Structure 1
Amino acid sequence: MQGRNAGIFRIWKGVTVSQLIDAFERRFYYLRLSITDVCNFRCTYCLPDGYRPQGTRNTGFLTLDEIRRVTRAFAELGTEKVRLTGGEPSLRRDFTEIIAAVRANPAIRTVAVTTNGYRLARGVAAWRDAGLTALNVSVDSLDARQFQAITGQDKFHQVMAGIDAAFEAGFDKVKVNTVLLRDVSDIHLDTFLAWIKPRPLQLRFIELMETGEGNALFRERHVSGELIRQRLEQRGWRCQPRGRTDGPALVFHHEDYRGEIGLIMPYAKDFCASCNRLRVSSMGKLHLCLFGDGGIPLRDLLESDGALEALKTRIAGGLNHKKQTHFLHQGNTGITRNLSYIGG
């Protein structure tokens, strides 16, 4: 692989067969683009002390024009899915315009957002009109008091109303992200299953991941998703095949349920073998892994449309430095201080 251009783009019989490829023959169709690291929630597993700027900033977050340019470059390299992340991405005043700018790339088939749901009820119809095609909402408990204890915000009913508004706006499925916490979400599996039985929700249990600022919580609250998997399989849930632009979740289906269960288990064996996503931070750095040691600067090539080819070359060449796996098993969290830092 070292002698090849990692960004070669080829079409065979109308189907994209080779796009961004790393040294381990993994193909990347999926970009997670952080547009801010600001968040108004204080989740215990991410920002328990609230948002704090990451050092001294010489410049702001990516502008709308910079977002247009970086997503155009990824689209021309074969990216088919872009997820807008944060922090809380809907805190951007130009969030609707950002969605429209990304969706303007004809190669981008899916424009998704991960949100805490704070502005969902009032904004989701406009987001969908702008081109949003997929939606993930964070809900860590179905008990309003526990929800407030985890997030630091008394917004449970507001978030639930937002999910209802998403269906009313025309989404046929909503994904719900739930961080798996010992003695919290793991002991309420039956409550979650009852919630999704009549609803087209994909409930995604995400294993708690260790971060630079979350070591103590990790030791106290981490529980393996394998325990949930065993309980699901005992009840007749079956794992479904993954699509090439799907995220890392193993998705389980049961014929008696309208909803689905997803399990994201970063500590599972060979988790990184199916990696298909890259990240760009809100400050314009390409991150090859959520738990990597650094980022590749792109912002100097986002100042004008004239640098598009150089931008594509830098992105593609960067993949030669992507490692085979993260090092979470060794307690190495890289530069990730918290999950809002480069978009979770």
Structure 2
Amino acid sequence: MLKDNYGRRFYYLRLSVTDICNFRCNYCLPDGYQCGESIAREKPLSVAEVNTVVRAFASLGTEKVRFTGGEPSLRKDLVQLIETAVNVDGIRRVAITTNGYRLASQIDAWQRAGLDQLNVSVDSLDPQRFRAITGHDKLANVLRGIDRALELGVSTKVNSVLLREHNLAGFEQFLDWVKVTPVSLRFIELMRTGDNRDFFASNHVAGRDIEKWLLHTGWELLPRGRDAGPAKEYTHPDYIGRIGLIMPYSRDFCAGCNRLRMSAQGALHLCLFAEAGIDLRSAIASGDHRDLAALIRSAVCGKSAGHQLDRGFTGATRNLAMLGG
């Protein structure tokens, strides 16, 4: 079992398959993806290399793989990537985080390939606010994709970054939607990165205030699965959907960490806000998942106790697209 020096076990791999994104979210890539940033970088991991990575992690007890980006649907071979992960012994769940731009047209193929969990970013249910946040007038299309995923039986979660000046006023609209829609809607505290200091200062909302409101109005905390993400999920008898809160600035947030990250170029990140990734590309390219597993096991011993976001430390994370949040 993959375990660090603090006794935390890692059942969950977040694997970026591209750092390219086609949205211009104001809290992440307000100027859009800059092609020049990656000209000198290696190509993203191939399907065969992803297979090696997933087999290595599975041999260490990892049970869940989530493909992230950037935007994963920009990979033309995403279906093959899903199939590759699904067919690795020991992997129980394969998920994708997407901005939903291509969801309506591609979810059927993803589901046939074996996808069983989907996270979709929806930062507002108001079309004008959605466009202002993301740079795209695509809310209706994204919602159609979510409806189709639910029809297909794909477990669906919706991510919404809390933004004081841009979507907090739409909180009631989100609640009305969850009342009749069987999704888990997770509100995420805005995290400070290398590129968003001023934006963070004016838009950060503490999730604990929403948590207090949920508990006061009859929502109940659900048990957390061992391969679950960091959200605290709540249920209410009057709502079909659930509410989740991801609060990286809360006390002891890192104590329950169960996930590791790998960049699209094959660097292992022990934390989203680590100072740098550990380059494993050559070991991945060799195709020997046992040797790779040994390197991963050794590297995990160096994982720190916490991310130190509360001290303003952002590590090497310039923006969330570079590693998938």
Query: TM-score normalised to the size of structure 2?
Result: 0.98
Shift of residue 58 of structure 1? 4.3
Q: Does 1:313 align with 2:294?
A: yes
The amino acid across from 2:217 in the alignment is: R
Taking the aligned partners of 1:168 and 1:120, their CA distance within structure 2 comes to: 13
Task: Please point out which of 62, 68, 83 is paired with 2:66.
Answer: 83
Aligned in 2, Cα 1:88/1:130: closer, same or farther, shift over 3 Å? Answer: same
Which residue of the partner structure matches residue 296 of structure 1?
278
Rounded Cα–Cα distance in structure 2 between residues aligned with 1:234 and 1:20: 39
Output the amino acid matched with 1:169. L
Report the secondary structure of 2:229's partner residue.
Answer: coil
8 Å CA contact retained: 1:292, 1:334: yes
Report the CA distance between 1:191 and its aligned residue: 1.1
Query: Identity rate of aligned residues, in percent?
Result: 53
Residue 121 of structure 1 contacts residue 159 of structure 1 at CA under 8 Å; is this kept in 2? yes
Mapped pair 1:282 → 2:264: yes
Q: Structure 1 residue 154: deviation in Å?
A: 0.8
Distance (whole Å) between structure 1 residues aligned to residue 172 and residue 196 of structure 2: 28
The DSSP-based 3-state class of the residue aligned with 2:131 is helix
SS at match of 1:318: helix
Structure 2 residue runs of 5 or longer lacking an equivalent are: none
- Structure 2 residue corresponding to 1:327, chosen from 308, 313, 316: 308
Q: What is the 5 A alignment of 1:213-228?
A: 213-228=195-210
Contact in 2 for aligned 1:281/1:287 (Cα 8 Å): yes
Q: How far does the alpha carbon of each residue in 1:185-243 deviate from its partner, in whole angstroms, 9 at most, with x for none?
A: 33322211110111111000000000000111000100100111111111111111111
Matches within 5 A, 1:57-68: 57-68=40-51
* Corresponding residue of 2:231: 249
Indicate yes or no: 2:10 matched with 1:22: no
Q: CA deviation at 1:27?
A: 0.4
Q: Secondary structure at the match of 1:28?
A: coil
Shift in Å, 1:271? 0.3
Match of 1:340 in 2: 321
Q: Distance in 1 between matches of 2:289 and 2:97?
A: 27
C-alpha separation in 2, matches of 1:248 and 1:154: 30
Structure number having the greater helix percentage: 2
- Cα 1:302–1:225, aligned 2, differ >3 Å: closer, same or farther? same
One-letter amino acid of the counterpart of residue 258, structure 1: I
Instruction: State the one-letter code of the partner of 2:323.
Output: I
Q: How many aligned residue pairs are there?
A: 324
**Residue 56 of structure 1, CA deviation:** 4.2
The answer to whether the Cα contact below 8 Å between 1:186 and 1:228 also exists between their aligned partners in 2 is: no
Q: How does 1:107-186 map to 2 (within 5 A)?
A: 107-171=90-154, 173-186=155-168
The residue that corresponds to 1:264 in the other structure is 246
- The answer (yes or no) to whether the contact 2:129–2:167 under 8 Å persists in 1 is no
Residue aligned with 1:303, SS:
helix
For 1:51, the equivalent position in structure 2 comes to: 33
Match of 1:229 among 190, 208, 211: 211
* Alpha-carbon distance in structure 2 between the residues aligned to 1:125 and 1:58: 33
Alignment partners' CA distance in 2, 1:88 and 1:240: 30
CA contact (8 A) 1:111 1:134 kept: yes
